[in-house]
Structure 1
């Protein structure tokens, strides 16, 4: 695969509901980067598994991923707690990660020409998908803060769920993401840690913007 290394590449890793997606969107908009929430690819596969249990196999998945459009990742069904937990389980499988890996790498290194580069957020972006990214960040927040954010998000979507259920789910996903054998969630030495527990969205954006501007304006 030919890689275009002339454009900006931003890689962001984070546990669930730390705010990485919101930050990545803001950064992408400001610098005109293609934004890809890579976790949604696994959520989409989880949705396929739930909807098409009899058809669900690697051949079926390859066909689906090869025909995947970015707008498919905006399906609101992907935000449910059930799909999130299923996605975390699916992401442990090496065969599935290989399929998604190629899709992610292609978007990271070959975004449409109208963009100045790419910004990917997920679990293994900084060391597995875009190891030579110009900017690497690890976004985190304490578990109760993250659970509250996800709870509010789900309630806004009229989901019938309790905070306790969301907190339990977030803890379960953390355990799965950090401890899986294939591409676990971890902070690399060259990633800048951003703790969003006590930061507003604006403050977090400005903090990251300052880091990026300092380097690109040299």
Structure 2
């Protein structure tokens, strides 16, 4: 009996603010592949936990939340960013806040939460291919991915990008405060015991500091050899 062909995966890992989300979406559109925003899953669980008034340090309660939260991705009617539906509520905008990011980082350090979301992430691997955006896509979730990129940028650069995004949304933030949050999150993500943020040994490092989005996308697409 012949084996089914393996669906190719491009794993794009990297720290917060490195541009993974935008780059992954553009690359997926170019290739005609599916897209997995794994960070949105963790943000969605963090959001659901917050709405339920849970203590994020209560591993058992947060794990139950991860197991029961209903998360759906829907294409935007206007062709914009994919909408994320959490327990029936369109939480896309809420999930982009720094609060949601901090909550995601906190619960991502809980092994049982990560395990609860593994099967959900693996289910995104469908033909013709998958672009998987996250922090452990190439090291833990899809270690057999034939294409891997570790996308990064300096903390100062990432803070500037985030500052611009949030100010455009009318939010009150400071550049210094955002850089401190990014550096703290980098340290927390890199030092956690489970699935720490680090490049896969076979990943191609792409530093986007000072680069335009088009150049970054071109560098990432060059990794995919079909």
Q: TM-score range by the shorter chain?
A: 0.7 to 0.9
What is the DSSP-based 3-state SS (H/G/I as helix, E as strand, rest coil) of the residue aligned with 2:133? Answer: strand
Deviations 1:64-116 (A, max 9, x none): 1xx32123267110111111112111100011111111111111x2x3xxx52
CA distance in 2, matches of 1:142, 1:159: 23
- 2:49–2:65 CA contact under 8 A, matched in 1: no
1:81 partnered with 2:94: no
1:45 aligned partner: 45
1:137 aligned partner: 149
What is the DSSP-based 3-state SS (H/G/I as helix, E as strand, rest coil) of the residue aligned with 2:222? Answer: helix
Q: Compared with structure 1, are the counterparts of its residues 101 and 161 closer, same or farther at alpha carbon in structure 2 (3 Å cutoff)?
A: same
| RMSD of aligned alpha carbons | 1.9
1:149 aligned partner: 161
* TM-score, normalization by structure 1: 0.88
What runs of 5+ residues in structure 2 fail to find an aligned partner?
56-60, 75-83, 86-90
CA distance in 1, matches of 2:145, 2:68: 29
2:120 aligned partner: 103
1:62 aligned partner: 67
Q: How far apart are 1:163 and its partner, in Å?
A: 0.9
Say which is worse superposed, 14-23 or 51-60, in terms of deviation.
51-60
What is the DSSP-based 3-state SS (H/G/I as helix, E as strand, rest coil) of the residue aligned with 1:10? Answer: strand
Deviations 1:152-171 (A, max 9, x none): 11111111111111111101
Of 142, 153, 176 in structure 1, the residue corresponding to residue 188 of structure 2 is 176
CA distance in 1, matches of 2:222, 2:156: 28
* TM-score, normalization by structure 2: 0.85
Of 160, 184, 187 in structure 1, the residue corresponding to residue 199 of structure 2 is 187
- 1:31–1:116 CA contact under 8 A, matched in 2: no
Q: Compared with structure 1, are the counterparts of its residues 4 and 91 closer, same or farther at alpha carbon in structure 2 (3 Å cutoff)?
A: farther
What is the DSSP-based 3-state SS (H/G/I as helix, E as strand, rest coil) of the residue aligned with 1:193? Answer: strand
CA distance in 2, matches of 1:20, 1:60: 26
What is the DSSP-based 3-state SS (H/G/I as helix, E as strand, rest coil) of the residue aligned with 2:71? Answer: coil
1:199 partnered with 2:211: yes
What is the DSSP-based 3-state SS (H/G/I as helix, E as strand, rest coil) of the residue aligned with 1:70? Answer: strand
Q: How many residues align?
A: 205
What is the DSSP-based 3-state SS (H/G/I as helix, E as strand, rest coil) of the residue aligned with 1:92? Answer: coil
Q: How far apart are 1:5 and its partner, in Å?
A: 4.6
Q: Compared with structure 1, are the counterparts of its residues 62 and 210 closer, same or farther at alpha carbon in structure 2 (3 Å cutoff)?
A: same
